[in-house]
Amino acid sequence: AQKVTQAQTEISVVEKEDVTLDCVYETRDTTYYLFWYKQPPSGELVFLIRRNSFDEQNEISGRYSWNFQKSTSSFNFTITASQVVDSAVYFCALSVLSSGSARQLTFGSGTQLTVLP
Amino acid sequence: GAGVSQSPRYKVAKRGQDVALRCDPISGHVSLFWYQQALGQGPEFLTYFQNEAQLDKSGLPSDRFFAERPEGSVSTLKIQRTQQEDSAVYLCASSNNRDSGNTIYFGEGSWLTVV
């Protein structure tokens, strides 16, 4: 079975601060995919990034960066110079390549990020 | 359409009433998923279709829940004899190939409240 843990339930920062959202996952599969989604108050889950288990390179996209470390089963997400529009719930999710339920995502419980002006 | 479209966006049902939630996936996407998201929680998998075939329904919480996708495009999630614990956001998602790593795109959800 797969499990994703987001230990931070809520985080508040002041605008322009950097913030890191933690994600720890559990799986016995050697091939898997990790995702981050953003959920604004409107409810739609907005895709941010996908990373496969064979690619441990960190990635940067504008103010967003991701740190994938297989040794600690972590896939952390950092927002640099946060903005009020970054306020949302952020979900980390895991998908494994296996038979049967090969396609489903297992989500963490989410981190509510509030960026104060 | 440009994104995954769900209707109704909001539904209030009396306990015991049947409800039907509709999902229109991104055009051409063969895979379609339904997730249930309780307040303050992450989404939980309900069921998965590849074209019209329902390949996985292991997440459906009871036999009151039924999903279909008869022509391989639009899908309907039906909940019979709704109970208060069915109150949640029901998210539909789609993706365009069979690779489990392919990106899954979500709709805005149908917010169901059972009173």
Tens of pLDDT, residues B22-51 = 999 999 898 999 999 999 899 999 999 999
* pLDDT at site A90: 98
CA dist B97 and A97 (Å) reads 13
Contact at CB, B100 and A103, closer than 8 angstroms: yes
| Res A56: pLDDT | 80
Q: Tell me which residue has tokens 């109150």.
A: B87
Beta strand pairing call for A10-14 and A111-116: parallel
CB of A9 closer than 8 Å to CB of A109: yes
Find the residue in B nearest to A54 (Cα).
B101
Output the CA torsion sign for B81, B87, B93, B99.
negative
pLDDT for residue A48: 92
CB contacts of A36 in chain B (<8 Å) are: none
Asked if residue B110 lies in contact with residue B11, where contact means CB atoms within 8 angstroms, the answer is: yes
Higher confidence at residue B3 or residue B1?
Answer: B3
Q: Is A4 helix (H, G, I), strand (E, B) or coil?
A: strand
Q: Are A57 and A66 in contact (CB under 8 A)?
A: no
- Asked if the Cβ–Cβ distance from B106 to A44 is below 8 Å, we say yes
Whether pLDDT at B97 is above 80: no
Of B27, B31, B26, B24, nearest to B7 by C-alpha is B24
* Nearest Cα to Cα of residue B37 among B94, B104, B109, B105: B109
Q: What's the mean pLDDT in B86-104? A: 82
The residue ranges of DSSP E strands in A1-117, in sequence order, are 3-5, 10-14, 19-21, 24-26, 32-39, 46-52, 59-61, 64-69, 74-79, 88-96, 106-107, 111-116
List chain A residues with pLDDT less than 50: none
Interface test with A, best of B100, B103, B106, B113 (most A CBs within 10 A): B100
Nearest CA in chain B to A34: B101
Distance from CA of A109 to the nearest CA of B (A): 4
Contacts of B59 (CB under 8 A, 6+ apart): A104, B36, B44, B45, B46, B47
Helix (H, G, I), strand (E, B) or coil at A85: helix
Contact assignment for A97 to B45 by CB distance below 8 Å? no
Interface touch B41/A109, C-beta < 8 Å: yes
CA distances to A109, B31, B74, B82 from B27, rounded to whole Å, are: 30, 11, 10, 31
Q: Write the residue in A42, A98, A101 that is nearest to B108 by C-beta.
A: A42
Q: Whose CA is closest to A105, among B47, B24, B61, B41?
A: B47
* % of chain B surpassing 90 pLDDT: 80
Q: In percent, how much of chain B has pLDDT > 70?
A: 94
The amino acid that residue B114 corresponds to is V
Tens of pLDDT, residue by residue over B47-59, are: 999 999 998 898 9
pLDDT of residue B101: 58
